[in-house]
Each structure stands twice: as C-alpha cells, then as structure tokens.
C-alpha cells in the first residue's frame, strides 16, 4: 500500500469505550496563594490556599511529575493532600472553556496579560475554572489583583474560546484497505511520536500481529490485518502514552475534588473500538423549519464504500419511521454536502437521524443534536426535566397552546421557593428553560418545579445529586 493512498483514506474509528487505567497522586499546591471568595455551593465566604496542584501519574509514588487544576469547588482540596488514590476518569466531559484555558494559560502557555507573580496568576486561573464548572461569582473575590485578573481571563475566554476538546494521543485508524487498521500515537501538540510494544487484541477473528510499534515523525504503526470476522472489538494497550492536557482524574472513593491535567505526562492507557464501524466522517448535521417542512442538511468530509443514507424521523415518544433516502458517493476523499426536505408535517416535536448504509449492508446512525419544532402544541404541558438526577444543570420543556402569562418556579422539600425560572408573558409554542442549581447554591436533594398558566397547573419533582 502506498503512503499517499494511506494518508488520503485514513479515517478515525468511532470509539465506544475507554478503560480507566492510569493512577495518579495529587500532593500539594504550588504556585498558589490564600484567596477569599464566596463558595457558590455553600454560599459561605471562605478562604483557601488555591492555585496549581502538583503530583504524579502512572506510578503515584515515583511516576512522572505533572500538575493539575481542580474542577470541583464543592470539596476543599487541602484536606485531601497528599492523596495517592486518583484514577483517570474518561466519563467526565470537560467544559470546552476549561479545555481552552488549559491550552491558553499557565502552565500550558503564556496567556495574554500573564502576571509576573504566578501565585496570583494560578489563583485567578483556578477561580475562573470554578466559575465555569460550579458557577463561582468572580466579583466575590476579595483580592483586587486576583479578581481583576480573573475577570480579564473570563472575558478573553468568553470572546475566543468557542470550542475545544482534549487532544487524542492514542487512536486506532482505518487503512485504505478495509481489512487493515493502524495505531497512531502523538504528543500533546498533535505531532506523531514513536511508541514501542503496543499490545493488541480482538474479541473475534485473528490479527496479523499482536504487538506493534509506532514510528516518528508521523506516529503510525504498520498496517495490521483482521481476518476471520467482519465485526468485533479491537483493543490496544500501552504503558507509554502521553496523557494530554484536559484529562480528568477522580478520587477512587469520590471523597476529594476531581482534577484536570494541566501538564502532560506519559501513562498507561487502553483504547477499545468497534471493528466494522463504517468509515464515513460526518462533519455537520443541521435542520431548518420552513412552514410545515423540515429541511435537513449534512456534510461528509470523506466516504468509503458508502451506498446511501436513509432519513428516519419520529414524533415525540413515537417509533422511528423512514422519511426518505439519499444516495451516497461510494468512495470519495473530499467533502460532500447533502440535503433532504421532509414535507407536510403536522405540528409537533420531531427527532431525526441518518442511517448510513454501505454496499455490504452494514450501517450506523448519526443523530440530529436538536429536536425540531413545528407549529403550536395542541395543549399545555410540562415535561420531566432532563437529565434527572442532575448536577448542576438540567433542562425543563414546556408547551404553550396559547400565548399568555406563565410561571415556572422551583421549591425545596419544605415548600420554600428557591428559583423562578419563568415569570412572564410567553408566546404559543414549544419552549425549554434551563435550571442551574450551582447558581442557586442548592444542596443535594429532591426539589419540585411548578408550572401555572391559563388555568393549567402541574407539579413535577427532580433530584439534584452532587
């Protein structure tokens, strides 16, 4: 296989699972300083020594030195340090603004306007992270220097941090030949690096080899052939993978705050992917409403063996039905734009998904991220919040068949009002309101929310679980 063809058709698999594999320790804070602020959870003014945490990964006692920021203001870090019982947590989704901060500010980079006093700089960075993860009010910071720096960081991130996710440093990619795959390893900046003795396995069938090395400068292994199966799970394990900035670690008993890696370091990592996942990269999938028609648009960056897309729709709580079909482009290495119009729909909420089918009959689904709303609802209604239980934010949907005044309020178990989510005139239609318990300083427990409008009253309960 030629390298040019290989690079043209390298398509990332759809990873389905990551195992927790890398232990860590969090041992102290330096640089940092005592800082007074109002805790958004307890609503108390408190003083903590905060800044950049230091510790180790791979071996919590003697592994590579790394550094962390806390992403959990609920639990004070001081009583947890030193602590050697942390493990990486792939199930926590990092706020994209925090990810952007880790790449833009100390110690990942010299951020715009960085203070010469790193004690103040790291304290400000930590407080802005808590603002994004826990709703901390930066104006409650008593130190003028730290407060002004924190507000400046927040303003810069709000204006520039539109999207971000931790870099992938260990991945399985598909070869141009659909019977083969490769392993790729990179550093935290995305440049290919060499890693030896990567162990491979597959749940069904056989591999042409079970140990591979990756090489610089591209970071790829030799192609590995899969025989004797069309499906299965491929697993790769290495003890020398760069853990990138943005990797979240949690305490093994959840007694200490979660932390996020700010200084990359090597650790042990396992990745598992589905063999047989279709090599079609979907870069966008959007909808637009025009009267009683829904216009769907999607774009692929590349396709391999793509027969067609089936467009599927379902009404709220209904069954999926096929709304139409659009032919694919077989194998192509350039972006392709697709459109489909679903016409003459009744008023209501709809979900859409694409069923992408290859010429062998294999298929996978791509879901539209949002619900599509048409017309006005036939009745007033209040839906169960989602997610539930939640922490710290959840969404509540409600329907207005007529325009009018509506009130949606949240009460605690004693009947005390703790938040007013909606209290005014609303047009007829489908609506969604967000409730952030972090902004209200609420503790874990059961809460009730009540909707009242036009003679319609309904109460539902929800659970805040921290």
Residue with more model confidence, 143 or 189: 143
Please give the average per-residue pLDDT across 12-36, as a whole number. 73
Q: Please state which of the ranges 43-57, 140-154, 376-390 shows the lowest mean pLDDT.
A: 376-390
259 occurs within a structural domain:
no
Please give the average per-residue pLDDT across 178-194, as a whole number. 91
Question: How confident is the model over 36-94, as pLDDT tens digits?
Answer: 999 998 889 999 999 999 999 988 888 899 999 999 987 665 678 899 999 888 777 78
Residue with more model confidence, 252 or 460: 460
- pLDDT value at residue 196: 96
What residues pair up with 243 in beta bridges, in sequence order? 265
pLDDT bucket at 15, cuts 50 / 70 / 90: very low
Question: 17 pLDDT exceeds 50?
Answer: no
The residue length of the chain stands at 466
- pLDDT value at residue 5: 36
Enter the pTM of the model: 0.56
Q: Which helix (H) or strand (E) holds 66?
A: strand 65-70
260 occurs within a structural domain:
no
Q: Are residues 12 and 34 in the same domain?
A: no
pLDDT bucket at 360, cuts 50 / 70 / 90: low
Coarse DSSP helix, strand, coil percentages of the chain, rounded to the nearest 5 percent: 15, 50, 35
Work out how many domains the chain is built from and give that number. 4
* 3-class DSSP state of 133: helix
- pLDDT value at residue 238: 92
315 occurs within a structural domain:
yes
Q: For residue 359, give its domain range.
A: 281-374
Q: Are residues 346 and 300 in the same domain?
A: yes
- pLDDT value at residue 77: 58
**Residue recorded with tokens 């839906």:** 383
DSSP states of 186-246: B-TTS-B--EEEEEEEESSSEES-SEEEE-TTT-B---EEEES-S-EEEEEEEEEEEE-TT
- pLDDT value at residue 61: 87
Q: Are residues 31 and 133 in the same domain?
A: yes
CATH number at residue 206: 2.60.40
Whole-number Å distance between alpha carbons of 26 and 37? 23
Burial class (CB in 10 A: 0-12, 13-18, 19+), 309: buried
Both tokens of 173, joined, read 């990619």
Question: 3 pLDDT exceeds 90?
Answer: no
CB 466 within 8 A of CB 74: yes
* Domain stops at, among 328, 343, 374: 374
Question: How confident is the model over 221-274, as pLDDT tens digits?
Answer: 999 999 988 778 899 999 889 999 999 999 887 778 999 999 988 888 888 877
252 occurs within a structural domain:
no
Instruction: For residue 299, count other CB atoms closer than 10 A to its CB.
Output: 14
Say which residues have a Cβ less than 8 Å from residue 316's Cβ, sequence separation at least 6. Answer: 348, 349, 350, 351, 371
- pLDDT value at residue 218: 93
ω into residue 15 within 30 of 0, thus cis? no
255 occurs within a structural domain:
no
CATH number at residue 405: 2.60.40.3080
- pLDDT value at residue 245: 93
Closest CA to 184 of 218, 224, 226: 218
- pLDDT value at residue 271: 84
CB 299 within 8 A of CB 283: yes
253 occurs within a structural domain:
no
Question: 2 pLDDT exceeds 70?
Answer: no
ω into residue 243 within 30 of 0, thus cis? no
Q: Are residues 148 and 44 in the same domain?
A: yes
* Domain stops at, among 325, 342, 374: 374
Whole-number Å distance between alpha carbons of 249 and 87? 5
As separate numbers, helices (DSSP H) first and strands (DSSP E) second, the chain gives 5, 30
Q: Are residues 219 and 307 in the same domain?
A: no
248 occurs within a structural domain:
no
Q: Are residues 155 and 183 in the same domain?
A: no
Whole-number Å distance between alpha carbons of 463 and 387? 9
Q: Please state which of the ranges 205-219, 243-257, 404-418 shows the lowest mean pLDDT.
A: 243-257
Q: Are residues 156 and 30 in the same domain?
A: yes
- pLDDT value at residue 277: 53
Burial class (CB in 10 A: 0-12, 13-18, 19+), 245: buried
Looking at mean pLDDT, say which of 203-217, 232-246, 354-368, 386-400 comes out highest. Answer: 203-217
DSSP secondary structure code for residue 386 in this structure:
B
Region of residue 127 (phi > 0: left; psi between -120 and 50: alpha; otherwise: beta): alpha
- pLDDT value at residue 1: 36
CB 81 within 8 A of CB 29: yes
DSSP secondary structure code for residue 459 in this structure:
E
- pLDDT value at residue 341: 94
Q: Are residues 194 and 156 in the same domain?
A: no
342 occurs within a structural domain:
yes
Q: Are strands 381-382 and 417-426 parallel, antiparallel or unpaired?
A: unpaired
Q: Are residues 155 and 187 in the same domain?
A: no
What residues pair up with 426 in beta bridges, in sequence order? 404
- pLDDT value at residue 278: 54
Whole-number Å distance between alpha carbons of 434 and 349? 18
CATH number at residue 287: 2.60.40.10
DSSP secondary structure code for residue 140 in this structure:
G
- pLDDT value at residue 284: 93
User: ∠ CA 331-334-338 to the nearest 5 degrees?
Assistant: 85
Please give the average per-residue pLDDT across 415-422, as a whole number. 95
Q: Are residues 356 and 406 in the same domain?
A: no
CB 262 within 8 A of CB 94: no
* 3-class DSSP state of 338: strand
* Domain stops at, among 126, 160, 194: 160
Question: 154 pLDDT exceeds 90?
Answer: yes
Q: Are residues 297 and 404 in the same domain?
A: no
CB 54 within 8 A of CB 18: no
pLDDT bucket at 317, cuts 50 / 70 / 90: low
- Give phi and psi for 6, each to the nearest 5: -60, -50
Q: Are residues 42 and 101 in the same domain?
A: yes
Question: 176 pLDDT exceeds 80?
Answer: no
């Amino acid at each position: 296989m030629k390298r040019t063809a290989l690079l043209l058709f390298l398509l990332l698999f759809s990873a389905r699972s990551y195992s927790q594999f890398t232990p860590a320790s969090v041992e102290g804070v330096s640089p940092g300083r005592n800082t007074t602020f109002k805790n958004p959870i307890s609503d108390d003014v408190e003083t903590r020594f905060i800044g950049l945490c230091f510790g180790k990964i791979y071996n919590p006692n003697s592994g590579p030195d790394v550094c962390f920021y806390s992403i959990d203001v609920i639990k004070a870090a001081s009583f947890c340090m030193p602590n050697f019982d942390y493990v990486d947590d792939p199930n926590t989704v990092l706020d994209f603004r925090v990810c952007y901060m880790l790449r833009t500010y100390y110690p990942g980079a010299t951020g715009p306007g960085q203070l010469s006093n790193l004690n103040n700089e790291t304290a400000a960075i930590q407080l802005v992270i808590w603002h994004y993860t826990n709703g901390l009010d930066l104006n409650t910071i008593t130190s003028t220097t730290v407060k002004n720096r924190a507000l400046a960081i927040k303003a810069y991130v709000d204006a520039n941090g539109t999207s971000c996710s931790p870099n992938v440093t260990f991945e399985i990619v598909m070869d141009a030949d659909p019977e083969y795959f490769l392993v790729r390893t990179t550093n935290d900046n995305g440049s290919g690096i060499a890693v030896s003795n990567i162990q491979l396995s597959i749940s069904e069938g056989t591999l042409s080899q079970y140990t591979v090395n990756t090489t610089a400068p591209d970071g790829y292994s030799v192609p590995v052939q899969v025989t004797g199966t069309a499906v299965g799970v491929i697993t790769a394990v290495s003890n020398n993978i760069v853990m990138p900035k943005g990797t979240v670690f949690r305490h093994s008993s959840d007694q200490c705050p979660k932390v996020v890696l700010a200084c990359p370091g090597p650790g042990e990592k396992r990745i598992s992917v589905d063999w047989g996942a279709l090599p079609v990269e979907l870069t966008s999938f959007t909808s637009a409403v025009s009267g009683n028609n829904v216009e769907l648009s999607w774009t692929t960056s590349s396709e391999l063996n793509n027969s067609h897309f089936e467009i599927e729709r379902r009404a709220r709580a209904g069954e999926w039905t096929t709304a139409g079909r659009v032919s694919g482009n077989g194998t192509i290495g350039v972006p392709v734009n697709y459109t489909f119009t679903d016409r003459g729909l009744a008023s209501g909420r709809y979900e859409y998904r694409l069923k992408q089918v290859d010429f062998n009959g294999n298929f996978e689904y791509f879901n539209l991220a949002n619900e599509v709303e048409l017309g006005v609802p036939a009745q007033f209604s209040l839906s169960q919040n989602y997610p539930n239980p939640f922490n710290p934010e959840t969404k509540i949907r409600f329907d207005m068949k007529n325009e009018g005044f509506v009130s949606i309020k949240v009460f605690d178990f004693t009947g005390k009002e703790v938040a007013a989510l909606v209290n005014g005139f609303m047009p007829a239609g489908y609506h969604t309101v967000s409730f952030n318990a972090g902004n209200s300083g609420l503790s874990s427990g059961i809460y009730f929310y009540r909707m009242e409008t036009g003679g319609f009253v309904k109460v539902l309960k929800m659970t805040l679980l921290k």
